[in-house]
Amino acid sequence: MTAFRRTDKPAHIDRTKPITFTFDGKTLIGFSGDTLASALLANGKTLLGRSFKYHRPRGVIAAGFEEPNALFTTGVGGRTEPNTIGPTTELVSGITAKSQNAWPSLSFDVMAANQLLSPIFSAGFYYKTFMGPLKKSWMMYEPIIRKAAGLGVAVPDVDTARYEQRHTFCDVLVIGSGPAGLAAAVTAARSGLRVTLTEQDFELGGSLLSSGNEVLEQWRKTQIAELESHREARVLNRTTAQGIYDGNLVVLNCIPQNHPAKMILEQCRAKTIIIATGAIERPLVFENNDRPGVMLASAVRTYLNRYGVAPKKRAVIVTNNDSAYATAFELAEADVAVTVAEHRSTLSGDLLAKAAQLGIAIFPNSGIANVIGEKQISAVRLAGRHAVTIECDVLAMSGGWNPVVHLTSHGGIKPKYDEKIAAFVPGGFAPSHYGAGGVNGTFGVMAAIREGETAARAALETSNFSKKLEAVELPAMREDRAYTIQPQWTVPEGKHAFVDFQNDVTSKDIKQAHQEGYLSVEHLKRYTTLGMGTDQGKTSNINALAMMADLRGLPMSAAGTTTFRPPYAPLTIGAIAGRNVGAHFKPKRLSPLHDWHVAHGATFIEAGLWMRAWYYDWAGHSPETAYIKEMELVRQNVGISDVSSLGKIDVQGPDAAEFLNRIYVNGFAKLPIGRARYGVMLNDDGIVLDDGTTSRISDTQFYMTTTTAQAGEVMSWLEYLLQMHWTDLNVHLTSLTDEWGGMAVSGPNSRRALQLAFPELDVTTETLPYIGVMDFVFEDVSVRILRLSFSGELAYEVHCPANYTTALWEHILKSADSLGIKPYGLEALASLRIEKGHVAGADLDHRNTLDDLGLGKMAGKEKDYIGKALRFREDCQAPERWSLIGIECMEDGKKLRGGAILFAASDEIKGHGRGYITSVTWSTELNKFIALALYNGGLKHEGEDIICAFPLKNENVKARIVSPHFIDKQGERLHA
Amino acid sequence: MRIPCPHCGERDVAEFRYGSDATKQRPQHGTGDLKTWHDYVFVFDNPKGQHIEYWQHVLGCRQWFTLKRNTATNQILPSPLEGEGGALAPDEGAVATELASTNPSSVLRMKDAQSTFSLKGRRGEKKQ
Amino acid sequence: MLKASSALFSAKPFASNLLAIVEAPDFTLTQYAGVEKDLKKALGKLPSRIGIVQDNFMRVGPTQIWSLNEAMDAPNCFVTPLSSSRTRIEISGAPAREVLAKCASIDFHKNEFKPGTFAMTGIHHVPVFIHCVAGEIFHLYVLRTFALSIWDHVSDAALEFK
């Protein structure tokens, strides 16, 4: 029993190019030019899937993106794609399509028993089970329901396909290549301006492809040929305009051919946009209108004329408007016996005459009472006076046409109801947007062509193009006949009259929503799940709105529509991610010493965007122990570490000193040349922003360093102050973070190391005391030595232009080799500073005041600095703030852990505690775990015993609050 | 959204960073009491409609500028603060007054929130 | 003289008949900042706006000029050497504009982005200075620490031309 057959009439398929594909494991053959849906129909496959809730048998309804039912899972493994839309999927060799939501098989589906449960699954089912007395039972039913309801299933495998993105620009973007779009694109292209034409289909032509008219086909070909001849015209088929965003950004997803990417997401910035997206036919709502074989009349016409797929013998057409007669006549001409059930009581003479000529019976005042046949319809029973039963292979329905207004509405313009065509049309157009053809509710071909041309001329005018252009040639045809419709909104009786085919919403559900008070469009949608499927209600929304308006006694214009949001059609997440996956997920930042670290056994760790050397092979292979060896090297001898990631800023200008004096809490105005100073910056709100050392190079030049983490933030903030507020200060800022690389040479032997490396240089304490700065030229390269210490040992930072940092680093290592100098990594660097009690990124949580960090005394009492006023607000002065403490572990063999929650010894271990550990390390000097932490009341509690709780590992470790300065409290080592 | 950088021309919003409300007058450095700074740092209007903001062309020329933007439509208007050749725009308290007076009903004044803000009716509740 | 090292030492070479992506090292980049009068006095005629390259001078801000010429004395100006701060990547070949369009949201159409102009923009969230040297030759000045990452990103964008 097959309901469809191939015709031998001319169509847009190439019968000489067969294409093999599989459906549910069975190998089938279609032709080049087919879609998955047309090929399946041609193979007699009408039962193609099971419905969302009730597992009812479903087949193809439409011939475009609006298709609610003919959805398949295609591909295998990571390339699996659920909910592939059959009518828009170009048939290519090797497609493997599987039906969805059916078990164990499509024709025998166990879950079809859900149909018996339909009273339970009706509107509001989810809400009632979540919220009502049934709430508890949800836990029990949920897994069963999850299995039973749904469509395609996403696979856990990684999608191995490649997705790309690109940015394009044009003067005129034409969306849609039907008669209006083609006319618009050709007109616009004649100007020589940059024109882009997009078409979601693989063939250009839109509704022209379904017409079966030779004159129109010639016209279509002529326009396409002309477009190809215009150098600045770009034609993108297989490209869906998904949304229009602010600033005329149109997001297009393109399926390229012969390209490594499966999909390209294009961000097209168009000066003007012509929306020629056409219209979608509405179904009619009647009992069992979801049975396979019930289709949109226009879809039946498309399958006939474009794909050469016709109903086997008999078709019934049910309509309330004139457009379905084209289908009726062309079916009859293709030897299909046609009967029309016409909702209206009168019909224009030309249609009646033609029907009579073709032997088509028309039943006026007739709708459909019921559809007979479950997996494939066999007959329909008419409603009304002529309650006859008519055998048929296909029931073609037309309830009128909905302009595809989505793109006109993305910017917030609500569509408005047009009584004449009983549909919503654009409520207006944004400046530089124009509409043409079906989207405007203009359904005739000739009128659409004229509108396309007019729209293009208006768009060109907006683009300041004023030369005269030749008019587009019209096809040699008679004028369009008028379109008339009698809206058919009444809510039918019956239990299985489907409004939303994809989400299984019936007319009964809408009645129920009305009875229960879910009246507004947005409530109706959420209560019934109407329009919430992958098709976003393209065929269902307007019928549902109209029914609700009818139940409420409101005119359509007062009912309103739901909000149209991008994307217009389902979009793969991979397309949105583009190439930013895997290694390209985010940019990586590498120190100028990176290659050296790689070559010398470093293990790396991510720190923000930076890849930093964590520890080196020479010290061992475990992050738990290697850093301890590296720490010992620094404490006892000398080590060298990469500090290139520090933010570095060149501050120059006559007012540089005044500027620094304003942004740091401590004074910089009188910093002598050749000296560095540790400084802290606050935000306006009195909270610590960043810290670092800044050195004075000359009267008008300073060298500022910031933390690695805050470098970008600080730079922007300082630029903001200078450019927008302190315009009277003559100061220039330039980031040197990339220009300069840096290394810390630390340990009691660090001076000897530098003396070996730079024998000509005097680095004794007399010339280069603690916080002294020295510039010199070494082998033609500028070098800056800053005597600073992060570790607490005698230490220097050596900075030089990044191109030479590796050479300088190697020079120091080689020169001081006799001392046993070795590199140390980020873990040791951080551990050394914890022992010394220096705060760093981890301890600064953007809630700390100066006093919280024990730095309150640094701030100048007399001078003004940013954040001074709000530093003293009540909250910042509260006695029980979380403030910096040191912690020593009091239990042998136990660890402290970063993030551990702190409790007083007498507290119950519950809740958020009194603070938390911000940094932790093994102390080589104290031979125990130590930590820095923020604790309620801070060092007021020095000496008290606490519990460090780490619930993830079920650990409670005893510890004691101590000063955060664990070593060398007098700073003797620094000043050595 | 496209933003016209006064120095580089129109660019994609992704090249910019938003700074803050540019209708507010920053207290002079070293002046202002706790209350002045509190109001400057924490109390903001949240206007629907025309607004003036600080933006930085952070991936481009790194220049800060003021941008007149409609917060409801993202329509960008020529900034009244732009001087010739895109000169830098200093503080200009007058702008705030001008903005408020052009479209008073669209300005929801959050600083009066406790006394006047309610979900039901906020129209005409602006108080100074 | 110390040996200079490239940020692209470990970069995977990009080979294609249609497109070349190579490092173009060994350039001098200096920033001069100051008031217009002093800048002009020190450097001579200067481009009036951001976006044009004139005698190797590029205006990068209202008060900042970049120069690819040898560093020179500039009285009353503030000079910052920046030769190490950027890595220069050269992209050349017929599809170069197409590749760049996959990387940055700039209109690279030949009538819009002409030889002798530049744009300061972003690639993969990283600031990049793109200079159109000739019809199909572009120089990307990329922050040195991001150079390898941007090299990979741009080479990957060019995959279809390999």
Residues A349-365 pLDDT 10s: 999 999 999 999 999 99
Using CB atoms within 10 A of its CB, is residue A862 exposed (0-12), middle (13-18) or buried (19+)?
exposed
Q: Which residues does A739 contact at the CB level (< 8 Å), separation at least 6?
A: A648, A801, A802, C80, C81, C82, C83, C84, C85, C144
Chain A CB contacts of C127 below 8 Å: none
Yes or no, beta carbons of C122 and B87 under 8 Å apart: no
Place of tokens 């991610």: A577
Q: Are strands A732-735 and A740-746 parallel, antiparallel or unpaired?
A: unpaired
In whole angstroms, what is the distance from residue C131 CA to residue C139 CA? 5
Q: Are strands A773-778 and A781-786 parallel, antiparallel or unpaired?
A: antiparallel
* Minimal C-alpha gap between A609 and chain C (Å): 9
Query: Which residues are paired to A647 by β-bridges?
Result: A706
Question: Tokens representing A10?
Answer: 């001319």
Chain A CB contacts of B63 below 8 Å: 719, 723
The answer to whether C19 and C99 are in contact (CB under 8 A) is: yes
Q: pLDDT class for C102, splitting at 50, 70, 90?
A: very high
* Mean pLDDT, residues A460-476 taken together: 91
Subunits that touch chain B (at least 3 Cβ pairs < 8 angstroms)?
A, C
The answer to whether A180 and A276 are in contact (CB under 8 A) is: yes
Nearest to C84 among A591, A595, A739 (CB): A739
Estimate the crossing angle of helix A507-515 against helix A541-552, to 10 degrees. 40
Nearest chain C residue (CA) to B2: C105
pLDDT, mean over chain C: 96
Q: pLDDT class for B112, splitting at 50, 70, 90?
A: very low
In whole angstroms, what is the distance from residue A976 CA to residue A764 CA? 10
Q: Convert the pLDDT of each residue in A530-584 to its tens digit.
A: 998 889 999 999 999 999 999 999 998 888 888 899 999 999 999 999 999 999 9
Dihedral angle at the C-alpha atoms of C139, C145, C147, C153, nearest 10 degrees?
Answer: -130
* Minimal C-alpha gap between A220 and chain C (Å): 29
Q: Are strands A361-363 and A337-342 parallel, antiparallel or unpaired?
A: parallel
Yes or no, beta carbons of C51 and B59 under 8 Å apart: no
A758 touches chain C (CB under 8 A): no
Q: Convert the pLDDT of each residue in A828-885 to its tens digit.
A: 999 999 999 999 888 988 999 999 999 999 999 999 999 999 999 999 999 899 999 9
H/E stretch holding A541 reads helix A541-552
Nearest chain B residue (CA) to A410: B73
Give the residue, A533 or A457, on which the prediction is more confident. Answer: A457
Q: Which of B64, B91, B92 to mutate to test the interface with A (most CBs of A within 10 A)?
A: B64
Nearest chain C residue (CA) to B7: C50
Subunits that touch chain C (at least 3 Cβ pairs < 8 angstroms)?
A, B
- Helices and strands (H, E) in chain B, number of each type: 3, 6
* Mean pLDDT, residues A465-489 taken together: 92
The answer to whether A664 and A680 are in contact (CB under 8 A) is: yes
* Residue A384 DSSP symbol: S
* Minimal C-alpha gap between C155 and chain A (Å): 11
Chain A CB contacts of C4 below 8 Å: 803-804, 807
CB pairs under 8 A between B and C: 43
Question: What pLDDT was estimated at residue B80?
Answer: 47
Chain A CB contacts of B42 below 8 Å: 685
Question: What pLDDT was estimated at residue A128?
Answer: 63
Yes or no, beta carbons of A719 and B56 under 8 Å apart: yes
Nearest to A864 among B22, B30, B73 (CB): B30
Using CB atoms within 10 A of its CB, is residue C131 exposed (0-12), middle (13-18) or buried (19+)?
buried
Indicate whether A145 pLDDT > 90: no
Residues 219-248 of A with CB under 8 A from C: none
In whole angstroms, what is the distance from residue C47 CA to residue A112 CA? 75
* Residue A104 DSSP symbol: B
Yes or no, beta carbons of C105 and B14 under 8 Å apart: yes
Using CB atoms within 10 A of its CB, is residue A175 exposed (0-12), middle (13-18) or buried (19+)?
buried
Residues 253-272 of A with CB under 8 A from C: 259-261, 267, 269
* DSSP 3-state of A380: strand
In whole angstroms, what is the distance from residue C106 CA to residue C104 CA? 6
Place of tokens 């985010």: A586
Yes or no, beta carbons of C121 and B87 under 8 Å apart: no
Q: Convert the pLDDT of each residue in A169-189 to its tens digit.
A: 999 999 999 999 999 999 999
* DSSP 3-state of A14: strand
Interface of B with C (CB under 8 A): 7-9, 11-12, 14-15, 58-63, 85-88
- The reply to whether the predicted model has a pTM over 0.90 is yes
Nearest chain C residue (CA) to A723: C62
Question: What pLDDT was estimated at residue B87?
Answer: 34
Yes or no, beta carbons of B1 and A684 under 8 Å apart: no
Report the candidate in A182, A3, A157 with the shortest Cα–Cα distance to residue A78: A157
Chain C CB contacts of A782 below 8 Å: 81
Chain C CB contacts of A808 below 8 Å: 2
Indicate whether A102 pLDDT > 80: no
Nearest chain C residue (CA) to A802: C84
* Minimal C-alpha gap between B26 and chain A (Å): 8
Q: Do you know the residue count of chain A?
A: 976
CB pairs under 8 A between A and C: 137
In whole angstroms, what is the distance from residue A220 CA to residue A149 CA? 44
Yes or no, beta carbons of B59 and C125 under 8 Å apart: yes
C55 touches chain A (CB under 8 A): no
Question: What pLDDT was estimated at residue B92?
Answer: 36
Alpha helices in A23-95 (DSSP H): 36-42
- C84-105 burial, b for 16+ CB within 10 Å, e for fewer? bbbbbbbbbbebbbbbbbbbbb
* Mean pLDDT, residues A106-118 taken together: 72
Percent of chain A residues past pLDDT 70, beyond the cut: 96
| Cis ω before A104 (30° cut-off from 0) | yes
A890 touches chain C (CB under 8 A): no
Backbone angles phi, psi at A481, to 5 degrees: -85, 155
Residues 350-409 of A with CB under 8 A from C: none
In whole angstroms, what is the distance from residue A874 CA to residue A847 CA? 14
Yes or no, beta carbons of C3 and A166 under 8 Å apart: no
Q: pLDDT class for A969, splitting at 50, 70, 90?
A: confident
In whole angstroms, what is the distance from residue A390 CA to residue A360 CA? 13
Chain C CB contacts of B62 below 8 Å: 61
Question: What pLDDT was estimated at residue B128?
Answer: 34
Nearest to C120 among B61, B85, B87 (CB): B61
In whole angstroms, what is the distance from residue A907 CA to residue A938 CA? 17
In whole angstroms, what is the distance from residue A376 CA to residue A58 CA? 9
Q: Convert the pLDDT of each residue in A688-731 to its tens digit.
A: 999 999 999 999 999 999 999 999 999 999 999 999 999 999 99
Q: Convert the pLDDT of each residue in A614-649 to its tens digit.
A: 999 999 999 999 999 999 999 999 999 999 999 999
C69 touches chain A (CB under 8 A): no
Percent of chain A residues past pLDDT 90, beyond the cut: 86
* Minimal C-alpha gap between C61 and chain B (Å): 6
In whole angstroms, what is the distance from residue A876 CA to residue A797 CA? 35
Chain C CB contacts of A269 below 8 Å: 105, 107
Yes or no, beta carbons of C122 and B14 under 8 Å apart: yes
Nearest to A873 among B38, B73, B88 (CB): B38
Q: Convert the pLDDT of each residue in A793-809 to its tens digit.
A: 999 999 999 999 999 99
The answer to whether A683 and A866 are in contact (CB under 8 A) is: yes
Taking the CB of residue A767, how many other CB atoms lie within 10 A of it?
11
* DSSP 3-state of A848: coil
Nearest to C50 among B8, B14, B88 (CB): B8
Indicate whether A134 pLDDT > 90: no
Q: Sort residue A314 into left (φ over 0), alpha (ψ -120 to 50) or beta.
A: beta
Yes or no, beta carbons of B15 and C121 under 8 Å apart: yes
Indicate whether B81 pLDDT > 70: no
Yes or no, beta carbons of B62 and A869 under 8 Å apart: no
The answer to whether A152 and A98 are in contact (CB under 8 A) is: no
The answer to whether A310 and A5 are in contact (CB under 8 A) is: yes
In whole angstroms, what is the distance from residue A500 CA to residue A539 CA? 7
The answer to whether A914 and A935 are in contact (CB under 8 A) is: yes
